[in-house]
A and B are shown apart, each in its own frame.
Chain A
Amino acid sequence: MSDFRKFVLRIGILFGLPWFFLIVGPVMKYQKLAPIAYDKDKDGVDGQYPPSVIHRQGQLVYAREGCVQCHSQMIRSANLGLDGWRKGWGQEQEGRTAEPVRSNTLRDYLGEPFAFLGIQRTGPDLANVGWRITDRAKMHQSFYAPRSVNQWSTMPSYRQLYTVQKAQGQKSKLALDLPEEFHPGKGWEVVPTAEAEALVDYMISLKKDYPVPGMAAAMAAAAQPKK
């Protein structure tokens, strides 16, 4: 075999190995991944894991606006970062939890065409942001005028997702309540477009801290003193 062919073969094998083990293999395995059913007695809940899928239309808007540049969507393991211990990054929004929010697993993103795990954290993590959103109008307000909610925020103001329309007599049910400096003016109101609603639906669908089957049992077992 000529030197050239040997060279190319060597390169092919050296790169082919990680290509096969990191890409091809996992892709094939992932496609066989299916939801797992919960065991009502052991896990305390019914149904399957993961219980719900994210709102896909809204995820398209999320991709289009480039939210992934500043927001992550994964809670890291407690040995690597403070993620799980941070207030409001899980279901509990007000108090202090005894256990950290669990780190995310592969199945948490089952059903998503692409998981936007995030490039940087200029803003808080959004893996469980669905629990933070109690008021849709407030969420719309923070998209339309982020600095009216958090003065220090550097989030872009996504006004292109909203329509400023003339107020027709009674205030429209969907119109946003804005403080004066962000308000378009007397006689006008700001109404979300379908895309803004889809984006909020997507955000509300982001809840990734439901129990993992068998985890409760595993943690109880781990807590037992070793014999």
Chain B
Amino acid sequence: MSDNPQSFNPDTTDLDRLHPAVKREKADVESGTEQAPMWVIFLGFIVAIIAGGQLGPNVGGFDFNVSNPFASSRFPDPRPVDGTAGAALDPLQMAMKKGAATYALCGGCHQGSGLGVPGAFPPLAGSDWVMGGTERNIRVVLHGLQGPIKINGADFAAPAPMPPQGAVLSDQDVANVLTYVRNNWGNKGSLVTKEMVAAVREKEKARTAPWTGPELEPYAKAEVAAEPAK
């Protein structure tokens, strides 16, 4: 119910409509004048000390030309090292690590377990093709594969064609993923290097169509000459 203040006429005005809500507002009360408790001051000092710790050497002498006060410091190398100090990471280990990441491209068909899908996608684990000649393996990855093939004696009469990866993967990537495939899931194979892949790529640079089983027979046991890794 709105009040009827004397200075306004009885017609409803905005003010009358606004009035009730305003009328029920609580009055302001003078705020407390207590002292801030001691522990607030104490905590404040602790924060200030932590804050001060951000300065110190980080300030770089307030020099406009110093962006990094630690630029000439030598920091210990945090990266993991295998073997003697100063040696590069073992090429096989590096290839396995990187190959595992690249294998994500292959896992869709050949599965993470390397077992493939019977009848559709050949297995890689324990496969005689994988453990066979690198000449064949590199060609399969670079240009793809189609048509019926025989893996470990089992027929893959109408497997899905394997898409070529040569355009998508660099020589190093192909080498890594082949090394991984040849050394994982109980396979005991050897290192494939990028020079080997490059040599095959160069030799077969005219090739556009995917390989078929019969075409790859001559390469079944052939190894690419491995140049000493740099």
Contacts and interface: CB of A to CB of B under 8 A. Distances in A.
Nearest to B165: A179
Majority SS of interface residues in chain B?
A: loop
A224 to B, nearest CB: 11
A103 B72 contact: no
Contact of B67 (A79, A105, A180): A105
Given A79-B73, A177-B167, A103 B68 contact: yes
A96 B88 contact: yes
Contacts of B104: 151-152
Contacts of A212: 71
A152 B86 CA distance: 33
B50 to A, nearest CB: 18
A215 B72 contact: yes
Interface in B64-96: 64-65, 67-68, 70-75, 77-79, 86, 88-89
Interface in A211-227: 212, 215, 218-219, 221-223
A221 B71 CA distance: 12
A26 B73 contact: no
Nearest to A103: B68
A95 interface: yes
Nearest to B69: A77
B168 A179 contact: yes
B77 A85 contact: yes
Of listed B65, B68, B104, residue having the most chain A CB within 10 A: B68
A59 B83 CA distance: 44
Contact of A95 (B75, B88, B105): B88
A215 B168 contact: no
A14 interface: no
B64 A29 contact: yes
A78 interface: yes
B168 A218 contact: no
A178 B164 CA distance: 12
Nearest to A219: B72
Interface string B209-225: 00000000000000000
B163 A151 contact: no
Contacts of A222: 72-74
B180 to A, nearest CB: 16
Contacts of A151: 104-105
Contacts, number: 56
A24 B39 CA distance: 39
A95 B105 CA distance: 24
A92 to B, nearest CB: 11
A218 B71 contact: yes
A103 B67 contact: yes
A82 B78 contact: yes
Contacts of B163: 179-180
B67 A85 contact: no
Contacts of A179: 163, 167-168
Contacts of B73: 79, 222
A149 B169 CA distance: 8
A79 B75 contact: yes
A184 B86 CA distance: 48
A56 interface: no
A51 interface: no
A179 B174 CA distance: 16
Nearest to A148: B168
Interface in A102-130: 102-106
Contacts of B105: 151
Contacts of B72: 215, 218-219, 221-222
B85 to A, nearest CB: 11
Contacts of A178: 167
Interface of A: 26, 29, 77-79, 82, 85, 95-96, 98, 100, 102-106, 148-149, 151-152, 177-180, 212, 215, 218-219, 221-223
Given A26-B64, A103-B71, A179-B167, 8 more contacts: A77-B71, A78-B75, A79-B73, A95-B88, A149-B168, A178-B167, A179-B168, A221-B72
8 tightest A-B CB contacts, nearest first: A218-B72, A105-B67, A78-B75, A222-B72, A103-B68, A77-B68, A219-B72, A29-B64
5 contacts: A77-B70, A98-B86, A178-B167, A179-B167, A222-B72
